[in-house]
Amino acid sequence: MTIDIKPLVTLLAIVNPLAIVPFFIHYTQNFSREQRRRTIWISSFSAFVVIATSALLGVQILEFFSISLASFQVGGGLLLLIGAMNMLNAQPAEAKPTTHEMEDGAEKAAMGASIAVVPLTIPLLTGPATMSTVVIYADKAKTFLPLITLVGYGVVVGLATALCFALARPIARVLGKTGINVMTRLMGLILAALAVEVMAGGLHILFPGLGR
């Protein structure tokens, strides 16, 4: 049985911790080394928890609200496409925080409070688009192994986040804003193609005539 790495590619593209490096630097600029290390691990673990929870309970939540997967695929694919358009404009895939949220995050950083969960993990790293993606792939996992593999991909995303944040300052120095923007746009292009594929699958189920 071959392991499908498409979910991992999609998750890495939409979470894209590299694009969140400037936000991490901004929020932690007044942190001590220990505070910064703690923020890294909390945000990385929180990203894993969001992905794992969506994988294990997302489908059951849809059933509880009587939402068909096809409808969710179209809606989720649309969110992915919006995220991809943001990335093509060199912005994070998930919703960018408002000025008020930025100021609130900066205030928390100045007070020494943890901003690892909000806004770093939610909404910057893992927001509605990420959750939608995981639920869609979780429904396709018909056996136990693909589902656990999807949870394992959450571990990979968490580790990638920890690595990018731990190397935030060297990455910012080497790539600069231009380099990060180029990487974000490339990931956005990949994400746009995947979003169209997800939406097409949902539309084909909702409107079988489209496949003729």
Q: pTM above the 0.85 mark?
A: no
DSSP the chain: -PPP-HHHHHHHHHH-HHHHHHHHHHHTTT--HHHHHHHHHHHHHHHHHHHHHHHHHHHHHHHHTT--HHHHHHHHHHHHHHHHHHHHTTS-SSPPPPHHHHHHHHHHHHHT---IIIIIIIIIIS-HHHHHHHHHHHHH--SHHHHHHHHHHHHHHHHHHHHHHHTHHHHHHHHHHHHHHHHHHHHHHHHHHHHHHHHHHHHHHH-GGGG-
pLDDT higher at 114 or 188: 188
Report the candidate in 193, 208, 189, 183 with the shortest Cα–Cα distance to residue 21: 183
- At residue 194 the predicted structure's pLDDT band, cuts being 50, 70 and 90, is confident
pLDDT of residue 95: 54
SS3 of 55-77: the string is: HHHHHHHHHHCCCCHHHHHHHHH
The CA distance from 69 to 207, in Å, is: 13
Overall average pLDDT of the 86-107 stretch: 63
pLDDT of residue 11: 94
**Candidate ranges 9-23, 39-53, 62-76, 134-148; pick with highest mean pLDDT:** 39-53
**Candidate ranges 131-140, 159-168, 194-203; pick with highest mean pLDDT:** 159-168
Query: Does residue 16 come out as left (phi exceeding 0), alpha (psi in the -120 to 50 range) or beta?
Result: left
The answer, yes or no, to whether residue 58 has pLDDT greater than 80, is yes
The answer, yes or no, to whether residue 156 has pLDDT greater than 50, is yes
The answer, yes or no, to whether residue 186 has pLDDT greater than 70, is yes
Overall average pLDDT of the 185-199 stretch: 82
Are 97 and 119 in contact, with CB atoms under 8 Å apart?
yes
Overall average pLDDT of the 186-193 stretch: 82
CB atoms within 10 A of CB 123: 18
